[in-house]
Amino acid sequence: MAKPDHLHFFIDPNRCIGCQACVQACTECDTHRGESMIHLEYVERARSVQTVPVVCMHCEQPTCAEVCPADAIKRTGDGVVQSARKPRCIACGNCVVACPFGVPELYNDRQIMMKCDMCYDRTTAGRKPMCATVCPSQALFFGTREQIEQLRPLSVPVNRFQFGHQVISTRVFTMMPREVARRQPWLDVTAAMDERPPERAVMLRVLPSTPEATADVGDPYAEVLI
């Protein structure tokens, strides 16, 4: 059985609340119990609660497979890039270094690379991937194009990513605000790396009860970043 063609994976980092339900649920998947194939990180916790969930993007021309000297990484006919094949993988880590999304991980104890395979056991059996099923903000969504268009009128799915001179098309989509996608219907990841999470500047009256506390503020209403 293959993953049904009409079902797709969509990521909307704007919705992510960093709860790690996806990470915890991924460790419950039958093919790799105890290990999570999802990466969920704060962009910069000191300045924002923004988090970004990363699953395998399932590239149409997977860099990981292209750099694999052992030809251990296969993309199945339904577009899913699989974990390294056990007899072939030599645990060299080329894929780990090469993947522009930072997805594959080397498990030294088992001498193998493992990564997200879009819950192949579930998706080929007509079920949704574990992470997208449990995600309480639906930052991770699995369904049809029609469903996502109907549910998310403010954003559009994008599956082209630019890393310097390399442009990658993927099977997994990222949701991009509609007005942004109208100008540029792809994501320049290299350029975005210099961006910092937006903060909220608020006119806030701080510590009214203690003169020394507001001494550095001058105006009792100070523009502080919160």
**What are the residue ranges of helices labelled H in 159-202?**
178-183, 189-192
Closer to other proteins by CB, 109 or 216: give it: 216
CB 101 within 8 A of CB 65: no
**One of 21, 68, 72, 112 touching other proteins (CB under 8 A):** 21
Alpha-carbon distance of 96 to 113, in angstroms, equals 8
Q: Min. distance of Cβ 92 from other proteins in angstroms?
A: 25
In whole angstroms, the minimum distance from the beta carbon of 93 to other proteins comes to: 24
Whether residue 22 contacts residue 135, with contact meaning beta carbons closer than 8 Å, is answered with yes
Burial of 157 (0-12, 13-18, 19+ CB in 10 A): buried
Is 206 within 8 Å of 223 (Cβ atoms)?
A: no
Q: What's the rounded Cα separation, in Å, for the pair 116 and 142? A: 14
Which 157-216 positions form the footprint of other proteins (CB under 8 A)? 199-200, 202-210, 213, 216
Count of residues that interact with other proteins, criterion CB under 8 A: 54
Instruction: Name which position in 23, 90, 96, 181 contacts other proteins (CB under 8 A).
Output: 23
Among 98, 152, 160, 163, binds other proteins (CB under 8 A): 152
The helix/strand/coil state of 120 is helix
Q: Residues 138, 147, 162, 190: which binds other proteins (CB under 8 A)?
A: 138
Provide the mask over 94-133, with x wherever binding to other proteins is found by CB under 8 A and - wherever it is not: ----------------------------------x-x--x
Instruction: Work out whether 54 is an interface residue with other proteins (CB under 8 A).
Output: no
Please, what is the Cα angle at 59 between 71 and 107, to 5 degrees?
55
Tell me which residues touch other proteins (CB under 8 A).
14-21, 23-25, 27-28, 30-34, 45-51, 128, 130, 133-138, 151-154, 199-200, 202-210, 213, 216, 221, 224-226
